[in-house]
Amino acid sequence: MEENECKFEYRVLSELPGGDTEIVYIPNKYPGVRRDGVMVKFLPKNGKPWVGIFAFGDMLPKGESQVLSGPGSKHFTIMAKGDAYIASPYNPESIVHVKSCPAIRAIPIPSRNLMLFHDYTELVAYNEKGIAWETERISWDGIEIDEVTDTKIIGKSWDAPTEKHVKFIVDLIDGSHKGGSSPPY
């Protein structure tokens, strides 16, 4: 069990709990359709407990599944084998499905109250209000993050024509970047 400064606890579950705890399937595009996913029970100090079942992604069956604090102190991030979600433990209806397909990795950046996600070609950062910024395409098909500082992200992207990785730097404030490689549009 973990607790953050916003006074809520959560537990990652391996099976559904009994009792009358509200269960929310995410996403719930088709009521009545249930999907396997990461099960998390939220226990807000001043609210009603609920269980979220965050659907696994279809594109990354061996992807990460984990719960991370952030962005900010009032939200958490769920990684579910290629899909990612941001939610508040106080409002199950406020869940955001992260715009990264598949979400290969999530990196908390507490100094900026950001959660960074990347797929094979782009990066996107979320704050407590939603998308803070997203890069243009910076890779043909592969991103590696080498370093995250308070001001920038340094990494390598795959350049297919030269069959090499090339360096890129992304500004953490606005998502602008230098370097990288991607196909011409």
Beta strands at 8-13 and 2-3: parallel, antiparallel or unpaired: antiparallel
For 103-113, write each residue's pLDDT tens digit: 999 999 999 99
* Max Cα-Cα span within the chain: 58
* pTM for the whole structure: 0.89
> What pairs with residue 97 in β-bridges?
85
Phi-psi region of 69 (alpha: psi -120 to 50; beta: other; left: phi over 0): beta
Q: In which band, very low, low, confident or very high, does the pLDDT at 9 lie, cut at 50, 70 and 90?
A: confident
pLDDT in tens, 117-144: 999 999 999 999 999 999 999 999 999 9
Query: 């890069």: which residue's tokens?
Result: 135
